[in-house]
Structure 1
Amino acid sequence: MAKPFKIQYLKLYNVLSCFLWLSVLIRAGLLWQLSGDQRVVFNETNVLVRWVQTLALAEIFHSIFGFVKSSPFTTAMQVISRLILVWGVCYLFPHIINKSSIYLFMILAWSITEVVRYAFYACNLTGAVPKFLIWLRYNTFIVLYPIGAGSEFLLVLKTFRTAWNAFFLSKIVWTAATVIYPFGFYMLYTHMMSQRRKVLKLTKKGGKA
């Protein structure tokens, strides 16, 4: 793929993803503010969240084919863990999830993180990232990632008994998720902290993030 076309494609992908997650954030926030009912928030956002998150499958292929420098393994871990949540937990067991405020915390953490991340990537492709966006990209995750990942883990636990009794495959997936989540969280969080130190050190010296 020619480099200019690749850059334009990545710009389009990141801008589109940024606006999609912004729509999730605004929709969830307004619904919660107007209704105050967790079931309304879930019922009116879960389909949008499911398909917006599914779009992120493209990022695994971006890393595999060298469109970006991200590790395919790390990218796959992040994307697949969320797909388990939206297609496995939320889609299969809505009657359990729609009453829990954990879902709201999860999608708010996801959407804020993704709006910042995709905006950062889009600006980075133009060669000009505002300093405030660099700060948001490498600081907000310190709080938002534990909230998002913690909410994911709690939803897995919340549906564990029902999933265990549902069908054979769910026994394997839910058991694996319960065991892997703490280790995956530690690995990804420490990786992002390492990236944060490198980037902030570079930007202090006047380099490009």
Structure 2
Amino acid sequence: MENITLTPHVYWAQRHGEIYLRVELSDAKVGQSTTSTQGHGAKGENEYEFSLEFLEPVRPEINHKSTQRQLDIKIKKQEECWWDRLTLQEKKPLFLAPDFDRWLDESDAEMELQAKYSGLQLFSPVSSAYLGLKKGYLFMYNLVQFLGFSWIFVIMTVRLWILGQDSFYDTFQTTADIMYFCQMMAVLEVINPLLGLVKTGFFPAMIQVAGRNTILFVIFGSLEEMQNKPVVFFVFFLWSTIDIFRYPFYMLACIGMEWKLLTWLRYNLWIPLYPLGVVAEAVAVIQSLPIFDETSLFSLPLPTVLGGSLSFSYVLQLYLVLMFLGLFINFQHLYKQRRRRYHLKKRKVH
């Protein structure tokens, strides 16, 4: 009787950079396709084959090792990141199950990764204490920022509901202190990636923090004439709207939790709000130009031969160009994060 091709039992586990597959076949002989093997499985000596569509791209090199009891396959991810599941399809194949001998959740895998780079023994007291402190610090930072921006958002929304357009003209006086605090705290978002506390890029964080602080401290903070303009309301409202969803998303991620609605808002709300925020910031800069010319604030004195001084407004005009360049860079960065999560690429193992 001619043998038929069967599907073996496959067990999987992952790390940030690798996928581990354990195929339940004894005395397996691997064919050219890696997933086609001849061995002794649940239905005796036969030819077994399986196919998987991974959640995200993997590298073409596949390492496998056959023993008397099983076939071990190791596959490297194209990018080091944690996958929510193994396969592109949400419903896992019937032949696939977790490999509990190798299984780690994301927090344990991150601890293993940290131990690898720091030279500490996995789950040692020092490593566990460090990771605990890091998670606690990041959780508290995001919680404080969430509470701060939530307070600003609620105050502005209530005042808009009660006072209408009149609330536009004293936004700075009612919310500036908390906004100063939150934006000074945001400098930590530039420091954290440099210290290896988070995996986000340093450059996108620096662009956002530096841009906001320029608007807050230089444009609004140093010019009283700007503080009563309606543009302050729109800048603060757009900033706080984005951040009341951004910070709780990161806060829950610190403890390995996810709320699907919050995740959707985190990866989609910025698409209209982030460009609108940059446009509002640009309007604030443009409105401040004649004020800097008139007051000569922050002007750069020139040598006597040249006479006069160089107005700070010229610096701000250059900053306007850089602002929209930063918008392009950060938009690409955020879109890449969103695409990675929602527009997943197919990759078959054959």
Shared fold (TM-score, shorter chain, > 0.5): yes
Task: Give the Cα–Cα distance (whole angstroms) in 1 for the partners of residues 237 and 291 of structure 2.
Answer: 25
Q: Shift of the alpha carbon at 1:32?
A: 2.1
Q: Shift of the alpha carbon at 1:46?
A: 2.0
Q: Please point out which of 57, 60, 75 is paired with 2:187.
A: 57
Q: Shift of the alpha carbon at 1:94?
A: 2.9
Q: Which residue of structure 1 aligns with residue 152 of structure 2?
A: 24
Q: Shift of the alpha carbon at 1:50?
A: 2.0
In proportion to residue count, which structure has more strand? Answer: 2
What one-letter code is carried by the residue in structure 1 that aligns with 2:297?
A: A
Q: Shift of the alpha carbon at 1:122?
A: 0.6
Deviations 1:8-56 (A, max 9, x none): 1101111111111100100111122222312222221122212211110
Q: Which residue of structure 2 aligns with residue 207 of structure 1?
A: none
> More relative contact order in 1 or in 2 (CA 8 Å, sep 6+)?
1
Please state whether the residue corresponding to 1:67 is helix, strand or coil. coil
1:105 partnered with 2:234: yes
Kept after mapping to 2: 8 A contact 1:39/1:98? yes
Bigger Rg over Cα: 2
Q: Shift of the alpha carbon at 1:172?
A: 5.6
What one-letter code is carried by the residue in structure 1 that aligns with 2:324?
A: P
Please state whether the residue corresponding to 1:49 is helix, strand or coil. helix
Please state whether the residue corresponding to 1:66 is helix, strand or coil. coil
Kept after mapping to 2: 8 A contact 1:97/1:103? yes
1:47 partnered with 2:172: no
Q: Please point out which of 302, 324, 329 is paired with 1:182.
A: 324
Kept after mapping to 2: 8 A contact 1:17/1:118? yes
Structure 2 unaligned blocks of 5 or more = 1-128, 301-311, 345-350
Q: Residues 121, 52 of structure 1: CA spacing in aligned structure 2 closer, same or farther, 3 A cutoff?
A: same
Q: Please point out which of 197, 201, 205 is paired with 2:339.
A: 197
Kept after mapping to 2: 8 A contact 1:46/1:90? no
Task: Give the Cα–Cα distance (whole angstroms) in 2 for the partners of residues 11 and 180 of structure 1.
Answer: 32
Q: Which residue of structure 1 aligns with residue 245 of structure 2?
A: 116
What one-letter code is carried by the residue in structure 1 that aligns with 2:275?
A: P
1:76 partnered with 2:206: yes
Kept after mapping to 2: 8 A contact 1:90/1:97? yes
Structure 1 unaligned blocks of 5 or more = 203-209
In proportion to residue count, which structure has more helix? Answer: 1
What one-letter code is carried by the residue in structure 1 that aligns with 2:155?
A: R
Deviations 1:84-105 (A, max 9, x none): 01100111113234122x2212
Instruction: Give % identity.
Output: 26
Kept after mapping to 1: 8 A contact 2:204/2:329? no
Q: Which residue of structure 1 aligns with residue 298 of structure 2?
A: 167
Please state whether the residue corresponding to 1:59 is helix, strand or coil. helix
Deviations 1:169-191 (A, max 9, x none): 53464133112011111111121
Please state whether the residue corresponding to 1:181 is helix, strand or coil. helix
The TM-score normalised by the length of structure 2 is 0.55
What one-letter code is carried by the residue in structure 1 that aligns with 2:215?
A: L
Task: Give the Cα–Cα distance (whole angstroms) in 1 for the partners of residues 315 and 208 of structure 2.
Answer: 16
Task: Give the Cα–Cα distance (whole angstroms) in 2 for the partners of residues 31 and 40 of structure 1.
Answer: 10
| Count of aligned positions | 201
What one-letter code is carried by the residue in structure 2 that aligns with 1:87?
A: F
What one-letter code is carried by the residue in structure 2 that aligns with 1:168?
A: S
